[in-house]
Amino acid sequence: MQLTLWTYEGPPHVGAMRVATSLRDVHYVLHAPQGDTYADLLFTMIERQDARPPVTYTTFQARDLGGDTAGLVTTAVREAYERFQPRAMLVGESCTAELIQDQAGALGLGANLPIPVVPLELPAYSKKENWGAAETLYHLVKTLLADRVPAPGTTRAPRPADRRPSVNILGPTVLGFRCRDDVTEITRLLGELGIAVNTVVPYRATVDDIRRIPDADINIDLYPEIARTTASWLQRTFGMPFTKTIPMGVGATRDFVREVATLVGVDAAPVLGTEVPGMSALAASRSRLPWYSRSVDSTYLTGKRVFIFADATHAIAAARIATEEMGFTVVGLGTYSREFARDVRDAAKTYGVEALISDDYLEVEAAIAAAAPELVLGTQMERHIAKRLGVACAVISVPIHVQDVPARYSPVYGFEGANVLFDTWVHPLVMGLEEHLLQMFREDFEFHDGAVASHLATSGHGATRTATAAATSTSEARADSPDLATGIADEPLTSVHGDALASDTSGDTGEVDTARVIAAIGAASAANAAGAATATIVPVWTADGERELRKIPFFVRGKARRNTEAYAASHGIARITVDTLYEAKAHYGR
């Protein structure tokens, strides 16, 4: 185990809780100490559910450890059945309860309830949340379909000619990324193909819905981290094929529609008839992404460096969209989903990068900083990392926070999902550009905070505000640079020719000649730098050097600062001026 501040996934019992909370008539009895009931907040606060999760805790305490903690499980199972009357029950234990080895699942079976009881043995110290969700769904489906399993070697009967083709959608859960809206979008697409949705599992499903799974023609594996194990078992046991394409992005949605149409034997024309691959005209797709991504200034989007780290499903899909549909350059690709590490590594090879497989957010942060991307696509964790690094970011995967469960319709799958992704990814870049421009011009004589409209500049009021702003700017420059303040605070400012500047004004307004003041500060900085000792240099930035550095785009400013400081130290330069900055740029640009 590793002590950490953040974690991408919770323990496996949280995954089991996600499945239980997604279902409507299944209850989960969790053998856990009093402190492990925190998980309720995940659903009521982040997912904004209007009811507690269907979970009963045994809530044993320290004083119970010397007694019969196993008896607490049996009592909790029977009381939960009497109170909630579920159609099926899951029984498991938290990571803490696993240590006392009460075997809660076996105790649940021993309660002899008149409903199916599914014992969950989820190793908390070697597996994580998504694996726990996948195992819970698999064992629940396998238990509820036990009496419908055909004899070995049985051939699946073809669909009657008069019956409408149907599919199951597997994988969406609460606390998933946009699952609610993705299901709506995919259901609408399937409806246009004439395909009915037999059931969605586990999201909002009942025990009866799960028992109807074999009635469909195929399964749609919408979220492989959760559903792949179940879909594979259904294929082996019932001969039900499942989809492999994730419908995220325009190209992948087209591929998904073709795959589904082929598997169930219908014509894809109702959806793909108006799609024109390879064209970016507005009428070439029902999604606006292809046209929008090419209608913006091509030099603005093309080649943008993007780092992607998420669950495997969304990371792989996002990389395809970034390169094929947005014109970005993938400079990093990774996942915390170790069960799908091979898939991510294969995808990373196509983009010429090495896959990052890790659940250590500090390792992820170091990789992002080293890659120096202009956009990060990731989880709630990467949002915080990107904020610290001053890089634009968009969330594309769990783990998420409350702002990633929007009230509006906001899928990421299907054609409408492609529209949502365009807005979600491009807007942070636009805001980043605006931030850079604001920083670049914030000290410009026309655009600083104290500047007034140009048509007021000659008025007395405008001149007064301009003079005040100039004085403030000069004062801030001195305060920001102690080395300058020490050298010039107590003596008149002079130009390189020795002219006194402190008393110079423009006309009768009393306005300080800002350009000459800045020139004097720069000259003083250069003089100070020229006389600095060269032994054991720890370079300091002068005010003019800092001002020039702030004009560099924020997403590469850190690298420019580090390179310049390294150059100054190696050349015995004590104070970094504008000249030093550009000398360093020329040095590293060779």
Would you state the torsion angle of the CA atoms of residues 18, 19, 23, 26, taken in this order, to the nearest 10 degrees? -110
* 287 part of a folded domain: no
- Cβ neighbours for 17, distance < 8 A, ≥ 6 positions apart: 28, 30, 39, 53, 55
pLDDT in tens, 49-59: 888 899 999 98
CATH number for position 511 = 1.10.8.550
Say how far apart CA 165 and CA 197 lie, in whole Å: 9
User: Has 297 been annotated as catalytic?
Assistant: yes
What was the pLDDT predicted at 39?
A: 72
Q: Three-class SS of residue 407?
A: coil
Say how far apart CA 482 and CA 401 lie, in whole Å: 42
Taking alpha carbons only, the member of 373, 382, 411 closest to residue 310 is 382
| Angle made by CA atoms 347, 353, 355, in degrees to the nearest 5 | 60
Q: Pick from 230, 253, 272: which residue ends a domain?
A: 272
* pLDDT, average across residues 191-207: 98
Say how far apart CA 123 and CA 361 lie, in whole Å: 23
CB 171 within 8 A of CB 54: no
DSSP state of 286: S
Residue 251 confidence (pLDDT) above 90 = yes
CB 112 within 8 A of CB 81: no
Residues 458 and 585 in one domain: yes
Q: 541 - beta bridge partners?
A: 576
* 326 part of a folded domain: yes
Residues 395 and 471 in one domain: no
* 135 part of a folded domain: no
Residues 432 and 339 in one domain: yes
Q: 330 - beta bridge partners?
A: 306
Residues 184 and 65 in one domain: no
Distance of CA 368 to the CA centre of its chain: 13
Residue 68 confidence (pLDDT) above 80 = no
* 277 part of a folded domain: no
3-state helix, strand, coil in the chain (%, to 5): 50, 10, 35
Least confident of 82-86, 141-145, 279-283, 435-439: 435-439
Least confident of 442-451, 559-568, 576-585: 442-451
What was the pLDDT predicted at 4?
A: 64
Which of left, alpha, beta for 510 (phi over 0: left; psi -120 to 50: alpha)? left
Q: Which residue has the higher pLDDT, 354 or 511?
A: 354
Cis before 54? omega within 30: no
* pLDDT, average across residues 495-504: 39
* 142 part of a folded domain: no
Residue 388 confidence (pLDDT) above 80 = yes
Pairing of strands 575-576, 540-541: parallel
What was the pLDDT predicted at 509?
A: 41
Amino acid letter, 529: A
Residues 177 and 223 in one domain: yes
Pairing of strands 505-506, 511-512: antiparallel
**Phi, psi (deg, nearest 5) at residue 234:** -65, -35
CB 338 within 8 A of CB 127: no
Q: What domain range is 340 assigned to? A: 304-439
| Measured CA distances, 568 to 275, 564, 583 (Å) | 57, 6, 9
Residue 191: pLDDT band with limits 50, 70, 90: very high
**Phi, psi (deg, nearest 5) at residue 393:** -150, 150
**Phi, psi (deg, nearest 5) at residue 330:** -80, 115
Q: What is the mean pLDDT of the chain?
A: 84
Q: Three-class SS of residue 393?
A: strand
Residues 434 and 463 in one domain: no
Cis before 553? omega within 30: no
pLDDT in tens, 78-101: 999 999 999 999 999 998 888 888
- Cβ neighbours for 376, distance < 8 A, ≥ 6 positions apart: 306, 307, 308, 309, 368, 382, 385, 386, 391, 392, 393, 394
Residues 342 and 398 in one domain: yes
Distance of CA 83 to the CA centre of its chain: 39
Q: Which residue has the higher pLDDT, 459 or 163?
A: 163
* 447 part of a folded domain: no
pLDDT in tens, 450-474: 555 554 544 444 444 444 444 444 4
Residues 318 and 372 in one domain: yes
Residue 508 confidence (pLDDT) above 90 = no
Residues 463 and 568 in one domain: yes
Q: Pick from 388, 408, 439: which residue ends a domain?
A: 439
Q: Pick from 226, 249, 272: which residue ends a domain?
A: 272
Q: Which residue has the higher pLDDT, 512 or 12?
A: 12
Residue 515 confidence (pLDDT) above 60 = no
* 298 part of a folded domain: no
Catalytic residue, chosen from 297, 444, 490, 508, is 297
Pairing of strands 55-57, 88-93: unpaired
CATH number for position 227 = 3.40.50.1980
Say how far apart CA 395 and CA 384 lie, in whole Å: 11
* 448 part of a folded domain: no
Residue 346 confidence (pLDDT) above 60 = yes
What is the dihedral sign for C-alpha 189, 379, 401, 46? positive
Q: What SS3 string covers 522-585?
A: HHHHHHHHHCCCCCCCCCEECHHHHHHHCCCCHHHHHHHHHHHHHHHHHCCCCEECHHHHHHHH
Total number of domains in the chain: 4
Residues 96 and 162 in one domain: no
Residues 159 and 85 in one domain: no
| Measured CA distances, 589 to 71, 514, 550 (Å) | 72, 33, 20
Residues 240 and 176 in one domain: yes
Q: Which residue has the higher pLDDT, 297 or 488?
A: 297
